[in-house]
Amino acid sequence: MDGAVGGDGDEVGADTWQAPEASHECASPLDRAGSSNDEARALEVFDDGSFVVAGAILDDDESGQMGWGAGFDASGASRWELSLPASQGSSRILALARREGDGGLWALLETGNDEVLLRLSVEGDIEGELLLSERIDDAELGVSIKDMSAVEGSVWLTGRLGGDLWVGRLDLEHDELETVLVEDQLGYIDTGMRLARAADELAVAAKIESGPSSDGDLMLVPPSHVLLVRFDLDGHELGRTALGEGEPLLAADIHALVADGEGSWVVAGVRRPTNELLDLGEAWVEAVGAEQAWEWTRTSVLEDEVRVEALLAGDGEVLALGSESGQAWAMGLGRDGVPRWEYGFDDEGFDSVELLVAAWDPRGSLRTGGRAWLGQTPSLRTCLVVPP
């Protein structure tokens, strides 16, 4: 998969991906040996090229995870680092969102059995925190928040309340968290997995299970499909679309959601058969609301699952990014879902690489975050993929 093939540009700089070769540079955001507990879950790139990567690292007891984030300048030099050990169990940062006006960030922290919304300064200092279970009605049923998105004046959150799909909106002016949607679909587990925004609306991609996840002591992969629900910025529902409904032998894992900039939403992840717990799945990308509805899939030809982990909107196309057989890749899909180009890359000095998060760099490049392995030891890595 080395090199780009075809293509007619991207959102930041037109025609930059047409040439057969690009280049990339990778570095570790940590100054210590890696651990299997290290993971990159979120990435934000700012207008000057500086960036923040967050997720989890090995905790101080070397027994679990603790939330972690770090800021870097455009060259990759460290600016600040933040560690967030849990009082009980493990913790990790699930999502980041830029705050309006002041250059700071919102960070969604999962810690123990709770989720906390953190307000971070430009320097990575914690300026405030909100324990979400104290603000959500009926939180005693159990709350699990999976993603967030920030718009002017509010922060949106999605996940699960009890076993039901839940969407909430935090009004920053009045410091009130309202439930926008709580809904049971088929009597099983429903979870909002990804939340993204367009210019004047937001969308939630939810996993809707249509069967049990266990049969006594036997764990099962329940069949599931995707429900995409659209809202205006005030919290009014605009419409919904079910994807894969009525396919009882497939389970969908949602990894990414993006607005394509032309009125459509694109969702991606992995679909796998329900008949075997460890069966390898297929990478899957599907457009919702497109004039010509389309779907793209890829099944690995080796004994290694192919995964789509991130989506980015480009000029006339959507970029799908992921990993397969130890190599990271980026692919440009046209508005009809047909691949235009593909660029695969590894990480020099490592045996394999896993791409987990990605964002546009203002210079027209791609900034990625993930892990690379040398033998059985992983290391957190960030890469800058530069077009020729």
More confident residue, 246 or 139: 139
Domain total for the chain?
A: 1
Give the separation between CA 166 and CA 343, rounded to whole angstroms: 37
Cα-to-chain-centroid distance, residue 87: 26
In a domain, 369, yes or no: no
In a domain, 383, yes or no: no
| H-assigned helices in 94-182 | none
pTM here is: 0.91
In a domain, 208, yes or no: yes
Give the separation between CA 316 and CA 301, rounded to whole angstroms: 29
Give the separation between CA 207 and CA 212, rounded to whole angstroms: 14
Compute the half-sphere exposure of residue 220: CA atoms within 13 Å on the CB side of its CA. 16
Q: Describe the strand order of the beta sheet including 237-243 as a list of residue ranges.
A: 190-197, 201-209, 224-232, 237-243
Q: Describe the strand order of the beta sheet including 91-98 as a list of residue ranges.
A: 91-98, 105-111, 114-120, 126-131
From residue 86, give the alpha-carbon distance in Å to each of 97, 140, 213, 321: 22, 21, 28, 31
What's the pLDDT tens digit per position in 81-104?
999 998 788 999 999 999 988 889
Q: Read off the DSSP letter of residue 99.
A: P
For tokens 């990014």, what's the residue? 321
Which residues neighbour 20 within 8 Å (Cβ) at sequence distance 6 or greater? 3, 4, 5
Which of 164-168, 276-280, 291-295, 305-309 has the least mean pLDDT?
A: 276-280
Structure tokens at 8: 């007619």
Q: Read off the DSSP letter of residue 374.
A: E
Band of residue 305 on the pLDDT scale cut at 50, 70, 90: confident
Cα-to-chain-centroid distance, residue 242: 20
What's the pLDDT tens digit per position in 260-269?
988 899 999 9
140 SS3 class: helix
In a domain, 95, yes or no: yes
Give the separation between CA 33 and CA 53, rounded to whole angstroms: 18
In a domain, 355, yes or no: no
pLDDT for 66: 94
Q: Are 186 and 210 in contact (CB under 8 A)?
A: yes
Instruction: Give the count of beta carbons closer than 10 Å to the beta carbon of residue 163.
Output: 15
Cα-to-chain-centroid distance, residue 362: 20
From residue 332, give the alpha-carbon distance in Å to each of 15, 138, 198, 338: 12, 43, 20, 8
Structure tokens at 161: 């309340």
What's the pLDDT tens digit per position in 339-383?
998 888 889 899 999 999 999 999 889 999 999 999 988 999 999
Work out the mean pLDDT of the chain and round it to a whole number. Answer: 88
For the chain, percent of residues with pLDDT exceeding 70: 91
More confident residue, 151 or 335: 151
What's the pLDDT tens digit per position in 264-291?
999 999 998 886 555 578 899 999 986 7
Range of the domain at 98: 51-310
What's the pLDDT tens digit per position in 308-341?
999 999 888 999 999 888 888 899 999 889 999 8
Beta strands in 260-306 (DSSP E): 265-273, 282-288, 295-299
In a domain, 156, yes or no: yes
In a domain, 277, yes or no: yes
Q: Are 106 and 96 in contact (CB under 8 A)?
A: yes
In a domain, 133, yes or no: yes
Question: What CATH number did the domain enclosing 118 receive?
Answer: 2.120.10
> Does the structure show a pLDDT above 50 at 14?
no
> Does the structure show a pLDDT above 60 at 9?
no
